[in-house]
Amino acid sequence: MSVTALIALAILVMLAGGFYAGRARAIQAVEGNTVRLHSLPNYHGYYVAIWTGLPALLLLLAHGMFADKVVENLTYAELRREASSLNVQLNDAIEADGAYESLRTEAVQLRGRAEAISADIQRLRNATGEDRDPELMDRLEAERLDALNAVTAADEAVLEREGELIARVAAEARAEGAPVRALAGFEVSQAPREQRQLFLADTLNIARGELPSRESRELVAAASIATRHQNQLRFLIGGMALVVALAGLARTRSQVEPAFRARNHVESLVTALLFLSSVIAILTTVGIVFSLLFESLRFFSSVPVSEFLFGLQWSPQIALRADQVGQSGAFGAVPLFAGTGLITLIAMVVAIPIGLLSAIYLSEYAGPRFRATAKPLLEILAGIPTVVYGFFALLVVAPAIRGLFTWLGFDDVATQSALSAGLVMGIMIIPFISSLSDDVINSVPQALRDGSYAMGATRSETISHVVLPAALPGIVGAILLGVSRAVGETMIVVMAAGQSANLTANPLESVTTITVQIVMLLTGDQEFDSPKTLSAFALGLVLFVITLIMNVVALRVVQRYREKYD
Amino acid sequence: MPDNQSHSDSIAGAGEAEQPVKVQARDVCVSYSGKQALNHVSIDVPDRSVTAFIGPSGCGKSTFLRCLNRMNDTIEGARVTGSLKIDGLEVNDKSVDPVVLRANVGMVFQKPNPFPKSIYDNVAYGPRIHGLALSKDELDAIVEDSLRKAGLWDEVADRLNHPGTSLSGGQQQRLVIARAIAVNPEVILMDEPCSALDPIATAKIEELIDELRENYCIIIVTHSMQQAARVSQQTAFFHMGNLVEYGTTEDIFTNPRDPRTQDYITGRFG
Ligand SMILES: Nc1ncnc2c1ncn2[C@@H]1O[C@H](COP(=O)(O)OP(=O)(O)O)[C@@H](O)[C@H]1O
Ligand SMILES: [Mg+2]
């Protein structure tokens, strides 16, 4: 068992001990007459236990989370110190090297030339009238491109020369029998950033006893340094945790006395815990929203908002090569909004009547026996994974619809159509609407029904004139929740509605939705800063705003309803 | 039947011969899922007067009221036997449509229950479902008339389109009374109409009941002896499903014959 685990165990034992110590001391302080205590003995126990265990365990937790990073930094710093004399040697070698110097000067000169050409181009671009010379402009552009290529080549040459010098210094040091750790330090301090990170990651892997991506003498040497830091840190934190636990135990135990308000202290600790949990929940939400927002802003820096929101063509292409200008695709999201709207509309046309009527039947007509079986069954419908609905739509509903409409004389009925996706999505949403509406209808006070019956109204008159108006806000809330489900639904549409961004109102055509496009944009290997991938965040933001608005409205409506009948 | 004699005693108890009998009950029994709630109740309630039903909770007062407009039909497991006539017509007869009956026998409940509609639509509810008004003007007239009779017109005339639930408790109860009046009932049943109201609202309702007495046969259930004494001309005392004593209010309160009645009105049990 590792030292940390042992210490954690010890702290848990102390925590339990602290509970009994606090309890016992409280009882002893009043000689068993616990009525004289301000708080029940258990509260004294909790109080001591919490202050014994909590800070120490938090310390261990922090150690577990951050130890690797700390060890890595300490190891890196030590490796650099080890390599300081070799680094000085390298600097000397570079300064003494004529070839390096001339390469550097050349690179600087080339850069100056490129900048001069850029300035010329800028001047020409600002010029007006006769001075404007397109031919000259083209020639200058070509020259600038050449100059930039030359700069890149020169920079590479400088780096290459530097690499040679590094290798030479390292070889000399090895030949002179320099310590391995100094060589390791030299390697890690002279390597480019990615290689340095890889080296340090491998070092820590070896120190942890895991398999590194490669092995070398230098890595093993560095790992031994890391192991030392790891152990030191482990013992330091472990010791601190034990001290903190003991101090907590001693201090809080001494606080226990009859008048001590342990109950209130425990209460405020519980409050703090609850607060912390909600803060975590809120922060996560805020974090997600902000990342959506920032990535969307990056997208909108390459594609204007107006084009995205009002453009009629959606064909996000990715440029295959960096110099392929004009290949960034069209990002007009209107076809997606229209597709989402069409499918949602079809789904609600199915779900609202069936859901509402079944809710009315269940709550007003069905006997208790039927209700007791039918309602759980409906709720099972809500528990079917949407991917199952998806292949139901694809394999059963879509062929049936195609068959039906072909038979009716329509030609070119797509296999994947808005209609099949919408129908199945509607079926998926029925239980939401019926179950929520049923609850709402049931909570309409019986007194209202009695009042209506006593006026001589029949049952259906009572339902349509009294019960439904009373339940209306709640029903609207249920419907809005259903709509936001439909808008956000992905699996069914991916499978049954297709991927072509047609701008159409014809339910027999294949359409695509916001969610489907997000899936399409982000699946497969993608670079993460092309407009194509970033547009997924913008779509996500739109989706988020739509559902947010609907949920807020739904909650408002339901709330207004509650105020009235509680 | 062994108790034939006993109830023939209690039938004519009201004694006020000026008004014709409106509601006539003979041997009415009610059970809920086999549990007896009302035992052989026989009573004659005169028209154009207020009859108070008093008695401890659970003694069957509401149950008896619900027999009069067949609201017991809506309760599962309720069984009603015996003869119950309004204007000589058998209420429990198969040929009687409860929907029509209920238009004729209005009911006001303990807790005001205005519908989630405007004040106007609340009152217009009955006339609309029964098709009592042929034009909008006629409906307006019915609504105004009913609200006036319920003493609410002056308070709500300028906000007829406000929701009924926006009124105070006492106003809501008068709105419900107006709603019942709007379909021209002959009998109005009130089941503890004031128990959710403050004393001032209660006084207004009592005043209203006193005015309505001119035109309707009113039966009111109440737990307040003072209220029964103030508003009613006849009082019936129920106890454990039995009608124990029935007579003029004055007789019942000054000269109760049954010891149980005496105990109840003097507050010794209940
Ligand atoms: N809906 C019902 N289902 C079953 N039993 C009922 C129902 N309503 C009333 N009862 C029973 O009938 C008896 C009389 O009730 P009720 O008429 O409400 O009394 P009261 O109105 O005088 O207080 C009580 O014992 C009560 O439990
Ligand atoms: Mg009652």
Residues B37 and B62: beta-carbon distance below 8 Å:
no
Residue to substitute in B35, B63, B243 for testing ligand 1 pocket (most ligand atoms within 8 angstroms of CB) = B63
Instruction: Determine which residue's CA is closest to atom 16 belonging to ligand 1.
Output: B60
For the CA of B238, the closest atom of ligand 1 is 22
Q: Find which of B121, B125, B179 to mutate to test the A interface (most A CBs within 10 Å of its CB).
A: B125
List Cα–Cα distances, B115 to A46, B17, B218, in angstroms.
Answer: 54, 39, 23
Q: What is the pLDDT of residue A122?
A: 81
Q: Which ranges in A411-530 belong to alpha helices (H)?
A: 418-442, 446-454, 459-462, 468-488, 491-496, 514-522
pLDDT in tens, B80-107: 999 999 999 999 888 899 989 999 999 9
Domains of chain B: residue spans and CATH:
2-265 (3.40.50.300)
Query: What 8-state DSSP symbol labels residue B118?
Result: B
Which residue in the set A455, A456, A470 is minimally distant from B116, CB to CB? Answer: A470
Domains annotated on chain A, with CATH: 3-70+233-292 (no CATH), 315-561 (1.10.3720.10)
Q: Tens digits of per-residue pLDDT, A441-477? A: 998 999 999 999 999 999 999 999 999 989 988 898 8
Confidence bin at A344 (pLDDT 50/70/90): very high
pLDDT digits (tens, 9 = 90+) for A68-89: 899 999 999 999 898 888 888 8
The answer to whether the CB of A131 falls within 8 A of the CB of A87 is no
Are residues A474 and A437 in contact, defined by beta-carbon separation less than 8 angstroms? yes
State the pLDDT at residue A281: 94
For A536-560, how does the pLDDT look when each residue is reduced to its tens digit (9 = 90+)? 899 999 999 998 998 888 888 777 7
- Supply the pTM of this predicted model: 0.69
The whole-chain average pLDDT of chain B stands at 89
Q: What is the mean pLDDT of residues A492-509?
A: 83
The whole-chain average pLDDT of chain A stands at: 87
Which residues on chain B are in Cβ contact (under 8 Å) with A562? none
pLDDT at A526: 65
User: What band does A520 get if pLDDT is binned at 50, 70 and 90?
Assistant: confident
Range with top average pLDDT, A218-222, A373-377, B207-211:
B207-211
Nearest CA in chain A to B180: A455
Does the C-beta of B61 come closer than 6 Å to ligand 1?
yes
Phi, psi values for residue A136, rounded to 5°: -60, -40
Q: Which two tokens stand for residue A317?
A: 């292409």
User: Is the CB of B57 within 6 Å of ligand 1?
Assistant: yes
The helix or strand, by DSSP H or E, that contains position A76, with its residue range, turns out to be: helix A41-82
pLDDT score of B11 more than 60: no
Contact with chain A for residue B59, Cβ under 8 A:
no
Q: Is B116 on the interface with A (CB under 8 A)?
A: yes
State which residue of chain B sits closest to A364, comparing Cα positions.
Answer: B74
Q: Which of B74, B167, B172 to probe the A interface (max A CBs under 10 A)?
A: B74
Contact partners, residue A561, CB within 8 Å, separation at least 6: A440, A471, A472, A473, A474, A477
Q: Which ligand sits closest to the CA of B60?
A: 1
B176 part of contact set with chain A, CB < 8 Å: yes
The beta-carbon neighbor of B115 closest among A453, A466, A472 is: A466
**CA B108 – ligand 2 centroid, Å:** 12
pLDDT at residue number B2: 40
Is the pLDDT score of B29 beyond 90?
A: yes
Which region among A420-424, A557-561, B212-216 has the lowest average model confidence (pLDDT)?
Answer: A557-561
Residue A451 Cα, ligand 1 centroid: separation in angstroms? 18
pLDDT in tens, A277-315: 999 999 999 999 999 999 999 889 888 888 889 888 888
- Is residue B5's pLDDT more than 80? no
Model pLDDT, residue A563: 53
pLDDT for position B237: 95
- The answer to whether A311 and A334 have CB atoms below 8 angstroms apart is yes
